[in-house]
Chain A
Amino acid sequence: MTFRTKLLLLSSITVAGAVALVTGAVSIAARQAFERADGQRRSDLLAQLRRELDARGMEVARQVERAAASAGAQRIAAGSAEFDQAKQESAAQDLAFLDFVQPDLTILSSAHWPARFGYKNDWGIAPEDWQPAGAAFFARVPVPDGPSAVALVAVRSTPDKKALVAGGRLIDPEFLKSLGDAPGMRALLWLPPGEVVDAQGGSPDITKLAGLVNEARGKGVESTGTVQWASARSSSEAFLAYPLEHRGQIAGVLLAGTSLAAQFALENEILWIGVVAAVSGIVIGVLLGWWTTERVTRPVTQLARGARAVASGDWSARVEVISKDEIGELATAFNRMTEQLAEQRDRAIQAERVAAWRELARRLAHELKNPLFPLQITIENLRKARKRSESEFEEVFQESTGTLLAEVGNLKTIIGRFSDFAKMPPPNFEAVELNEVVQNVMRLYHAQLKDDGKSKIETELSLAEAGLRIQADGEQLRRAIGNLVLNAIDAMPQGGILRIASSREDGHVRLWVSDTGMGLTEEECARLFTPYYTTKQHGTGLGLAIVQSVVSDHGGKISVVSTPGNGATFMIELPISPGESA
């Protein structure tokens, strides 16, 4: 992953995280605000509900009081009225229930159930509630067509105290409608044993409200909860369950519900706005990050490109100094560094050339000095021999000329080697079987390996069975492999094992030449292929340099692995075809 990508990814993650954090915080804050508002709304609703019920109770009490003071009530109390006179009085006062009873609670006239005259009032009103001045309360009133109804009831007495009057307003859909006329709000009524009615007279699903109702009934105080009517969250409704309780008796439970659809819609809207803002923020952040990253990494990329150019040998590579900040300083430092490196390289090349010339001079001096010393001695012996007898001079002359010729021949050989190295021709590629080249070399040096005057060197060939046909110059390969074999022989004056192996791997062939000689140090390994460097007492230092030159001209590479005392292994890797060289 590139630095730019990392930087872009980091900036994107940072922006996205920040945006998500802000969005989440806004969403949570909005929800908490809504919950606080909902709680406040429920509190207001409860207060409003209590006020409404108190107002209704006072209204019912007034209505019952008026009914008790009516002329009809006087006639009922006096026993001179029709049995259903209470119906007229209840209609006049808009009361659903109105019972005129004697002090022993025997019904004189009943509005909602006229046929019950003569029976005892059975509204479940406690004896202490049959007080003419008491407040209104909730009671369950038996009705002809069903088990009972919930009513807001008040008790009064006729002016002559001969009759008590119990009247009430039915807690029905109309009553609920009058409570729940605020937008998004509705009132339900739960009635024992398990019926729920709403303001429109419908019957909502009791099972959804059972928990809330049971809690309110069990505790006898208000309870709140949320009911989700359908799978959609918008169908949720917040409910306040208000038990219609009087003296420990639960006549019913009033459920005031407020729809959460608008709240959820608003929450969703905020959430969507947050999501859109977040996505937009992230996109903008990524674009800005990309632009910033591009700005920031461009000098670094140029630096990297310059560094790669330098690494590949382009010492003239320079980077543009765009800014004066740290990156600009870095670019300036890079340019200064490359300039210095180029200068140092030039100086090193110069020094290396000088050193090479010195080494060449030393080697030439050394190589030439050896034949020259016998020449000098021989010539001096000849000069001295002229003072001797003719015969002695002749003998010396013959011997000296032979020596001179031999040493001149040595000089020619030395010069020829140098000449050969200098004139290394380009390889003439043709199809060559590498294993055959190896076997030819081994035949060439067979006698030398079996020389009785030296310690015995055993050979172990482990060549690839399938053959290793490559495009190469056979003569140059033979010379290179021969040099490696000669080196190995030279490295094992006490005898040893010479191992040669070959193999084919992924478009290349490999050849290993190993000896069991004294081995090389790390420094020797590093300098081994330097021309004129040798570890041998009489070597020219050109053998391995020629090997490296041949291998390099074939597009291959050579390496050596060795540790002192454990011999050395040279490995040549050649492409099957020079064009396939890496």
Chain B
Amino acid sequence: MKPIVLPWIAAASALFTLAILKAESRPRYGGTLRVEMSGTLNNLDPAELPSDPAALEAKVRLLQAVFETLVRLDESGKPQPWLATSWAHDVAHKRWVFTARPRVRLHNGMLWTPNASTLEAPDDRPIEQILRDLARPWNAIVVREPDGTLTGTGPFRVARWDSGKAAMLVANEAHWKGRPYVDSVDIQMGRELRDQTQDLQLGRTDVTDAPVATTDESRADETLALIFDTPRSSPAVREAVSLSLDKVVIRRVLLKGHGGISGALLPQWLSGYSFLFDGKRDIVRARQLAAGSAPLTFAYDRQDAVLRSIGERISVNAMEAGITMRPGNGAVDVRLVMIPVTSRDELSALSDIAAVLKAPFSFAVGPYEAERSLLEGFRAIPLFHLARSWNLTPRVHSWPDLANVWIGQP
């Protein structure tokens, strides 16, 4: 072969390989995305806010796939037009008028035409606060059909709902932003972490929950915290538990350096003030506070190896302070839970956390005061801020954005 031919062959091969690689990274339409999760949802009604953290996290994610809000917060937390294309206020700033996006169709095929393409909302709050509130999934646009079913405008519609067990979402072909890439999303709820891992290894699912802190996400969107559910423990004992915790060692050894130590519910990147909540260890003080305390029952996800190790370490730390925390199930005194940060807005996120804590919440105060109020009495002890993580098969792309997720070649 002549030497002049070889460069051409090499160039052709390079171009072919590049073409193949480009084709692999280009979104593809079609396919069913199989998702397994540990959380369980009884319904997808935006009006019902679940108190279980896992359910809360799942519901927020699914609500955004099926229902849409007037506005959405961008990555920086600023409101962006969504179903509402613009908004304006009257002179007294008492009344706001939102302009509805045209040609938006509901899942039942009907055009979404609220009040001649405008929405009026009497509210004298600052517009920023109103927009952040409207961006919450709980304020999504929902049409309640006479038979009780809910109809939305999101990229997916609910094709099948098996309460607490499974759901099937199918692509909304008429979505105003264009249909999503995948044809459908098959969701299995309430799956044990062990079963999820097994199904993933056997190729029975595409997406599963992952143990905490196994990814290096830079932005934490979950808070690992202890929640005291029953009134059997006094504030002093709860404070003793908080002071007994050796978070530095837990982060270094058990979380392998992942996550951020904090005494705040919201991560530093979101609130900017989390460093103000002290979470340092004081075992001497903890022993003083815990004197004569009764044993507490303690629940944590024993299938998650990291959570189990953290739970056991917390028990050991508490034992050092003189507090017995025995593993239990059902109605326990203390739970170790991952609380999702559901919004880029501090107050909205804190509001959802208040629902988890079953604590009252007011939007009338600032985020710092609201968080201080939630942490009063140590009913919740924040430990670490961690990134939500999943296990995916290689063919899943653009997860967790359901509207843009697509399935590549197997």
Q: Which of B246, B249, B309 contacts A114 (CB 8 A)?
A: B309
User: Shortest CB–CB separation between residue B247 and chain A, in angstroms?
Assistant: 13
Q: Which of B249, B312, B315, B326 contacts A118 (CB 8 A)?
A: B249
Report whether over half of chain B's contact residues are helix, strand or loop; otherwise say mixed: helix
CB pair B312 A115 closer than 8 Å? yes
CB pair B315 A115 closer than 8 Å? yes
Known pairs A84-B309, A145-B326; A116 contacts B254 (CB<8 A): no
User: Shortest CB–CB separation between residue A87 and chain B, in angstroms?
Assistant: 10
CB pair B312 A114 closer than 8 Å? yes
23 contacts between A and B (CB under 8 A): A83-B253, A83-B254, A83-B309, A84-B309, A113-B312, A114-B309, A114-B312, A115-B309, A115-B312, A115-B313, A115-B315, A115-B316, A116-B316, A117-B253, A118-B246, A118-B249, A118-B253, A119-B316, A119-B320, A144-B312, A144-B315, A145-B326, A145-B327
Complex Cα–Cα for A2 and B345 (A): 123
- On A, residues with C-beta under 8 Å from B are 83-84, 113-119, 144-145
User: Shortest CB–CB separation between residue A371 and chain B, in angstroms?
Assistant: 146
User: Shortest CB–CB separation between residue B98 and chain A, in angstroms?
Assistant: 53
Complex Cα–Cα for A118 and B252 (A): 12
Complex Cα–Cα for A275 and B254 (A): 76
Complex Cα–Cα for A145 and B326 (A): 7
- In the bound complex, residues from chain B placing their C-beta under 8 Å from that of A84 are 309
Residue of A nearest to B314 (CB): A115
Interface residues of B in 137-190 (CB under 8 A from A): none
- In the bound complex, residues from chain B placing their C-beta under 8 Å from that of A83 are 253-254, 309
Complex Cα–Cα for A114 and B315 (A): 12
Q: Which of A84, A115, A145 has the most CB atoms of chain B within a 10 A radius of its CB?
A: A115
* Closest 9 pairs between A and B when the two form their complex, measured CB to CB: A115-B312, A115-B313, A115-B316, A83-B253, A116-B316, A118-B249, A114-B309, A115-B309, A144-B312
Complex Cα–Cα for A118 and B249 (A): 9
- In the bound complex, residues from chain A placing their C-beta under 8 Å from that of B246 are 118
- In the bound complex, residues from chain A placing their C-beta under 8 Å from that of B313 are 115
Complex Cα–Cα for A145 and B249 (A): 22
Other than the given A84-B309, A118-B253, A145-B326, 9 more pairs (CB < 8 A) read: A83-B309, A114-B309, A114-B312, A115-B312, A115-B313, A116-B316, A118-B249, A119-B316, A144-B312
- On B, residues with C-beta under 8 Å from A are 246, 249, 253-254, 309, 312-313, 315-316, 320, 326-327
Complex Cα–Cα for A119 and B246 (A): 12
Complex Cα–Cα for A453 and B74 (A): 181
Complex Cα–Cα for A115 and B315 (A): 8
- In the bound complex, residues from chain B placing their C-beta under 8 Å from that of A118 are 246, 249, 253
User: Shortest CB–CB separation between residue A557 and chain B, in angstroms?
Assistant: 110
Complex Cα–Cα for A116 and B319 (A): 11
Residue of B nearest to A115 (CB): B312
Residue of B nearest to A142 (CB): B319
- In the bound complex, residues from chain A placing their C-beta under 8 Å from that of B312 are 113-115, 144
User: Shortest CB–CB separation between residue A528 and chain B, in angstroms?
Assistant: 120
- In the bound complex, residues from chain B placing their C-beta under 8 Å from that of A145 are 326-327
User: Shortest CB–CB separation between residue B219 and chain A, in angstroms?
Assistant: 27
Complex Cα–Cα for A529 and B130 (A): 161
- In the bound complex, residues from chain A placing their C-beta under 8 Å from that of B249 are 118
- In the bound complex, residues from chain A placing their C-beta under 8 Å from that of B253 are 83, 117-118
User: Shortest CB–CB separation between residue A322 and chain B, in angstroms?
Assistant: 98
User: Shortest CB–CB separation between residue B255 and chain A, in angstroms?
Assistant: 11
Residue of A nearest to B252 (CB): A83
Residue of B nearest to A119 (CB): B316
Complex Cα–Cα for A286 and B130 (A): 117
User: Shortest CB–CB separation between residue B12 and chain A, in angstroms?
Assistant: 49
User: Shortest CB–CB separation between residue B246 and chain A, in angstroms?
Assistant: 8
- In the bound complex, residues from chain B placing their C-beta under 8 Å from that of A114 are 309, 312
Complex Cα–Cα for A118 and B254 (A): 12
- In the bound complex, residues from chain B placing their C-beta under 8 Å from that of A119 are 316, 320
Complex Cα–Cα for A118 and B281 (A): 15
Complex Cα–Cα for A117 and B254 (A): 10
Residue of B nearest to A118 (CB): B249
Complex Cα–Cα for A345 and B313 (A): 128
User: Shortest CB–CB separation between residue A75 and chain B, in angstroms?
Assistant: 14
User: Shortest CB–CB separation between residue A479 and chain B, in angstroms?
Assistant: 126
Complex Cα–Cα for A84 and B312 (A): 12
Complex Cα–Cα for A55 and B73 (A): 70
User: Shortest CB–CB separation between residue A120 and chain B, in angstroms?
Assistant: 11
Complex Cα–Cα for A579 and B253 (A): 131
Complex Cα–Cα for A118 and B253 (A): 10
Complex Cα–Cα for A350 and B366 (A): 162
- In the bound complex, residues from chain A placing their C-beta under 8 Å from that of B316 are 113, 115-116, 119
User: Shortest CB–CB separation between residue B14 and chain A, in angstroms?
Assistant: 43
User: Shortest CB–CB separation between residue A385 and chain B, in angstroms?
Assistant: 166
Residue of A nearest to B312 (CB): A115
- In the bound complex, residues from chain B placing their C-beta under 8 Å from that of A144 are 312, 315, 327
Q: Which of B312, B316, B327 has the most CB atoms of chain A within a 10 A radius of its CB?
A: B316
- In the bound complex, residues from chain A placing their C-beta under 8 Å from that of B309 are 83-84, 114-115
Complex Cα–Cα for A84 and B313 (A): 12
Residue of A nearest to B311 (CB): A115
Q: Which of B246, B253, B327 has the most CB atoms of chain A within a 10 A radius of its CB?
A: B253
Complex Cα–Cα for A117 and B316 (A): 10
Complex Cα–Cα for A115 and B320 (A): 12
User: Shortest CB–CB separation between residue B332 and chain A, in angstroms?
Assistant: 15
Complex Cα–Cα for A84 and B327 (A): 19
- In the bound complex, residues from chain A placing their C-beta under 8 Å from that of B326 are 145
User: Shortest CB–CB separation between residue B329 and chain A, in angstroms?
Assistant: 13
Complex Cα–Cα for A119 and B316 (A): 9
Complex Cα–Cα for A294 and B292 (A): 94
- In the bound complex, residues from chain A placing their C-beta under 8 Å from that of B254 are 83
User: Shortest CB–CB separation between residue A144 and chain B, in angstroms?
Assistant: 6
- In the bound complex, residues from chain B placing their C-beta under 8 Å from that of A117 are 253
Complex Cα–Cα for A113 and B311 (A): 12
Complex Cα–Cα for A114 and B312 (A): 8
Complex Cα–Cα for A83 and B310 (A): 12
- In the bound complex, residues from chain B placing their C-beta under 8 Å from that of A115 are 309, 312-313, 315-316
Complex Cα–Cα for A83 and B250 (A): 11
